[in-house]
Amino acid sequence: MSAGNGRELRIVGFLCNWCSYGGADTAGVSRLGQPTDLRIIRLPCTGRMDPLFMFKALLSGADGVLVSGCHPRDCHYSEGNFYARRRLELAKRLLPTLGFDSGRFEYTWVSASEGKRWQQVVTAFTEQIHTLGPGPKFSH
């Protein structure tokens, strides 16, 4: 179930341990098929998600970056995702000024029970990145 035809693109996911990582596990346990482009980095909380990791990934050759955490008000640490939402929204808004399509980066909320939603998010985001194609390249 590859979103593109043939070549995979590089998508890096940053997931909070308590909600979205569990949601991705739930999707796995339920065998909800997904495109294979995404690689997941586990964070304790989206509050740990420095927007600079996103920039670092895009500058290092990632074609897309996805952050997913607990729904607002459900943060395991009470407030982490509230701070994350502000930081990540701001970082997303800076992308076009730098020449990156803002669609290369999304942040969202998926709970540990929402395996189906995780499948939808991964599938839609992977398709989105394939529509945008490979990220801008640095070599001349």
Q: Which of residues 34-63 bind other proteins (CB under 8 A)?
A: 34-36, 39-45, 47-53, 55-57, 59-63
Residue 23 CA to residue 82 CA, distance in Å, equals: 19
Let me know: does 121 contact 11? Beta carbons within 8 Å: no
The dihedral built from the CA positions of residue 55, 11, 24 and 89, taken in this order, carries a sign that is positive
Q: How far is the CB of 16 from other proteins (least distance, A)?
A: 9
Binding residue for other proteins, selected from 4, 85, 130, 131, defined by CB under 8 A: 85
Binds other proteins by CB under 8 A, chosen from 3, 4, 67, 108: 108
Q: Rule CB under 8 A: say whether 139 interacts with other proteins.
A: yes
CB of 60 to other proteins, least distance (A): 4
Q: Per CB under 8 A, does 4 bind other proteins?
A: no
Calculate helix-pair angle for 115-132, 20-29, nearest 10 degrees.
100
Q: Which of residues 87-106 bind other proteins (CB under 8 A)?
A: 87, 89-91, 93-94, 96-101, 106
- How many angstroms separate the CA atoms of 73 and 2, rounded? 34
* Cβ 40 vs Cβ 92: under 8 Å: no
CB of 131 to other proteins, least distance (A): 14
